[in-house]
Chains A and B, each alone.
Chain A
């Protein structure tokens, strides 16, 4: 049984969300509520539509030529699919971190300052310095890079780069952070650091994370959604979903019988 009612007002409310790529339907009538200040994990076999669903929340599907999103999605009660919301300003409120970190070909400082400069979030150099430092601190990277902010972002290790793009997203002061398999290119130590970071960030942000690691979903998320072939099969408190799944497909997936 799918449980999409939450105790608090949800950050996002999706109703019959479908996504088509050309004639191929990647998501079928997904209804899901995402809570604020917590971690929601999206799991499921690859190709089931996790990334597609994640991209619904910041309208990144708009950047894909043949993608078409239908249904209704609200953020804080306000429609974000309609024509009157500007996807560009939505993305300033909903940050995103991708599977492989791709820093801009700029210095560490300029990478983090990219968003604030775009949106005019800092009036003076000192303010910008403060934003950069703050974001790097929150992303747990400040101590490692504070003495080489002018070095290129591409020179960092994979784990550092992932935290750099996280800092880049945080610098815009978003309300939501979307993460698409952020640990899949990281070694176990870097992954552990990232998970600790997510744990710390969830008090402030609404975090939605796609992961192919069930252990990771179980460790860091409060609620977990299981998708299968473009449909939301089950959505529940993480603990309940993993210990007592309501659907046989969920059961099969979390016990490793397919996917």
Chain B
């Protein structure tokens, strides 16, 4: 059982700060009321500053206590709580002592807010850097076992056999090309489905549909976005896969139930609302005056959409598609269920393929030593995926910015 005292301490500190805030604020209010003049800072700033001071004191007590604390000592814990209450209240009281009409609490509070916000942003950056660093670190370890050239250009992927004792041909087993190709193939199929469909839905909704239709259809497509991927997964496995198989069978081809096509189709359906909803928003944001200008030149509605509205909405549409691409690349569940796991290098969408995400899952689940080339390969794959989406994002950002610079 874990020891709940540190958690109680946090709750205690938070309650204390809140109490200090209300106490000091109301005290300041009373003084303002009695003095009948305008203070430099509103009462709530006095309270907020006192609460900040209390919070600072509490954090110090918390940190010190946590460091010194012997396990399971009830007396120590009681002292710890008393110290928090006492010092926190003292800190608040020191601020409230200065609470007069002339007290400049507001600038202090503003500065504290700014510092706190900056600290949180820094935290986000640090977490990102930390994740990238750990990816890089493990990947580098992996590249100590398997050469990076082999990994990036190798066309054999069979990590399971490679770790078996006495396996000679280890070098050929960690080639990421088939895995990468699988990801790209499925993503391409998904985009082929989702981009035209999503865009046409967006165009219909924003340019052709009546307000009532739009109010009905748009939420429906957004519900499509709320369906969990695993549900799409069994839809792919149980409906689309067999359908693709029997369709191909009717045409004389023998196709497995699990295929890149089935997974790609379903993934495409999953990202349609992402594209249609965002594109609809940006198309709607195109000013009516631009359309009027086109109509006034004798353009029809579809000509206006194609030649004036879409070019002007392009940056937004590109970002929408990009978001969809990232989503498709990172999608795991559908692929696990519908595309199979065979790491065959194939451009045939009717083959069973595997993707980077599926392989990462396969490498890290099951019983194994978490220190083999096999598990490290997962980090290398993760790094590769990260690099891919990063490059895509950067390229799109540059394209969009250049376009906006020119025309907006």
Give the B-binding residues of A (Cβ under 8 A): 58, 60, 63, 88-92, 95-96, 98, 100, 102, 104-106, 114-115, 118-119, 152, 154-155, 165, 168-169, 172
Give 18 new A-B contacts, CB below 8 A, not counting A63-B291, A118-B299: A63-B295, A88-B299, A89-B298, A90-B298, A95-B296, A95-B297, A98-B289, A98-B293, A100-B289, A104-B293, A106-B407, A118-B307, A119-B298, A152-B406, A154-B406, A154-B407, A169-B296, A172-B298
Query: For window 308-347 of chain B, which residues contact chain A by CB distance below 8 Å?
Result: 308, 311-312, 314
The interface of chain B, by Cβ under 8 A from chain A, is 287, 289-300, 303, 307-308, 311-312, 314, 406-408
Q: Is the CB of B292 within 8 A of A60?
A: yes
- CA separation between A115 and B408, bound complex, in Å? 22
Contact B300 A88, beta carbon cutoff 8 Å:
yes
In Å, the complex CA distance between A88 and B294 comes to 11
Q: In the complex, A102 Cα to B291 Cα: how many Å? A: 9
Contacts A60-B296, A63-B295, A100-B289 given; does A118 touch B407 at CB 8 Å: no
Tell whether, in the assembled complex, residue B297 and residue A172 are in contact, meaning their CB atoms are under 8 Å apart. Answer: yes
Q: Identify whether the interface residues of B are mostly helix, strand, loop, or mixed.
A: helix
Select one of B297, B314, B406, B408 contacting A169, CB under 8 A. B297
A104 lies within 8 A of B295 (CB): no
Contacts of B407 in A (CB 8 A): 105-106, 152, 154
The 18 listed contacts between A and B (C-beta, < 8 Å) are A60-B292, A90-B298, A91-B297, A91-B298, A98-B293, A100-B289, A102-B287, A104-B307, A104-B312, A105-B314, A105-B408, A114-B297, A118-B303, A152-B406, A154-B408, A155-B406, A168-B293, A169-B296
B297–A168 CB distance below 8 A: yes
B contact residues around A172 at 8 Å (CB):
297-298
Contacts of B291 in A (CB 8 A): 63
Q: Would you give the shortest CB distance from A111 to chain B, in whole angstroms?
A: 9
Contacts of B300 in A (CB 8 A): 88
Name the B residues within 8 Å of A106 (CB-CB). Answer: 311, 407
Whether A88 lies near B298 (C-beta < 8 A) is yes
- Give every chain A residue within 8 A of B289 (Cβ-Cβ): 98, 100, 102
Name the residue on B nearest A118 (C-beta): B299
Which 9 pairs, one residue from A and one from B, show the smallest C-beta to C-beta distance?
Answer: A92-B298, A105-B407, A96-B296, A91-B298, A115-B297, A102-B289, A105-B312, A152-B406, A152-B407
